[in-house]
C-alpha cells in the first residue's frame, strides 16, 4: 500500500478543482439513491471531506473521480443504514405494484400491443448521449421509492442480491421480483422519453 506518498501542492490543487467539478454528479447520484435532497447533500459533503482527508491514500491519477465515487457509495450505504435504524424506511414486503406491470401484459402472458418493446437503436450510442441520461434520471426519480431503492442498490451501487437482502431484510426471492418490476417500469418509461424525443 502506498499510503504515504507526499502530495505536492499542485496535485492537491488539481484534485480540489476536480472535486468541485465532479460535485454536481456526486450529488445527483446520491439523490437518485437517497431520494432526499438534504440527505444527499450530507452524504456528498461527507464524501468530499473524506476524499480531502484521505487524499494521501489515493494512488494514481486516472481513476480519481471513480475513487471519490467509491467513497460516496460507502457514505450512501451508511446513510441508508442510519435511516433504516431510525425506522425511516420500512423494507417493503407486499405492497408491490402488480398492477402497473400487469398492464404491460395480456392475461395470456403476451405483451399488450401498446406495451411491446420497440427498437432503441444502437445501445452504445444511447449511453453516449446526454439526453438518454436525462430521461434515465427522470425515470429513476419516477419509480416508487421502495422499488427504486432496491434497484439502485443493485444497479447503481453494485450490490449483489444477497447483500441487498442483508441490508434491507427482504428475501432474495422478493428482491428478484422487485428488480424485475423496476426494470419493466424503467424500460417502459425510458422508451417513452427516449423515442418520443427522437421522432420529433
Partner 1 sequence: MMMCKRATELMSQRLDRPLSWTEKVSLTFHLSMCGACKQCNRQFELLHQAGQRLDGERCPQEEESDRE
For partner 1, the binding residues in 101-130 under the rule CB under 8 A are 105, 108-111, 116-120, 123, 126-127
Q: Which one, of 193, 187, 194, 164, lies nearest residue 100 by Cα?
A: 187
Q: Which is nearer to partner 1, 110 or 199 (CB)?
A: 110
Spatial distance between the Cα atoms of 9 and 157, rounded to a whole number of angstroms? 32
Q: Which is nearer to partner 1, 94 or 130 (CB)?
A: 130
**Part of the chain binding partner 1 (CB under 8 A), chosen from 34-42, 50-58, 86-94, 148-156:** 148-156
Minimum CB separation of residue 4 from partner 1 in Å reads 25
Helical segments of the chain, H only: 9-34, 37-53, 64-85, 98-102, 123-127, 130-142, 145-155, 161-168, 172-199
Q: Which one, of 88, 109, 44, 150, lies nearest residue 52 by Cα?
A: 44
For partner 1, the binding residues in 65-84 under the rule CB under 8 A are 65-66, 69, 73
Spatial distance between the Cα atoms of 35 and 41, rounded to a whole number of angstroms? 11
Which DSSP symbol is given to 105? B
**Part of the chain binding partner 1 (CB under 8 A), chosen from 42-50, 53-61, 75-83, 158-166:** 158-166
For partner 1, the binding residues in 18-37 under the rule CB under 8 A are 18, 21-22, 24-25, 29, 32
User: Is residue 59 involved in binding partner 1 (CB under 8 A)?
Assistant: no
| CB-count exposure of residue 66 (10 Å: 0-12, 13-18, 19+) | exposed
- Residues forming contacts to partner 1 in the complex (CB under 8 A) are 18, 21-22, 24-25, 29, 32, 63, 65-66, 69, 73, 105, 108-111, 116-120, 123, 126-127, 132-133, 136, 152, 154-156, 158, 160-161, 175-176, 179-180, 183-184, 186-187, 190-191
Amino acid at each position: 500500500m502506498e499510503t504515504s506518498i507526499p502530495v505536492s501542492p499542485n496535485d492537491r490543487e488539481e484534485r480540489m478543482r476536480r472535486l468541485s467539478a465532479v460535485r454536481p454528479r456526486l450529488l445527483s447520484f446520491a439523490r437518485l439513491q437517497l431520494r432526499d435532497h438534504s440527505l444527499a447533500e450530507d452524504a456528498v459533503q461527507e464524501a468530499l471531506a473524506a476524499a480531502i482527508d484521505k487524499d494521501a491514500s489515493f494512488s494514481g491519477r486516472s481513476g480519481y473521480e471513480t475513487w471519490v465515487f467509491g467513497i460516496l457509495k460507502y457514505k450512501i450505504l451508511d446513510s441508508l443504514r442510519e435511516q433504516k435504524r431510525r425506522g425511516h424506511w420500512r423494507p417493503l414486503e407486499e405492497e408491490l405494484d402488480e398492477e402497473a406491470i400487469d398492464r404491460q401484459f395480456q392475461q395470456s402472458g403476451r405483451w399488450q400491443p401498446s406495451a411491446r418493446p420497440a427498437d432503441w437503436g444502437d445501445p452504445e450510442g444511447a449511453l453516449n448521449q446526454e439526453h438518454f441520461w436525462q430521461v434515465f434520471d427522470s425515470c429513476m426519480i419516477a419509480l416508487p421509492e421502495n422499488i427504486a431503492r432496491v434497484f439502485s442498490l443493485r444497479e447503481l451501487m453494485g450490490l449483489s442480491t444477497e447483500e441487498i437482502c442483508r441490508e434491507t431484510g427482504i428475501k432474495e426471492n422478493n428482491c428478484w421480483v422487485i428488480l424485475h418490476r423496476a426494470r419493466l417500469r424503467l424500460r417502459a418509461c425510458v422508451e417513452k422519453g427516449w423515442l418520443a424525443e427522437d421522432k420529433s
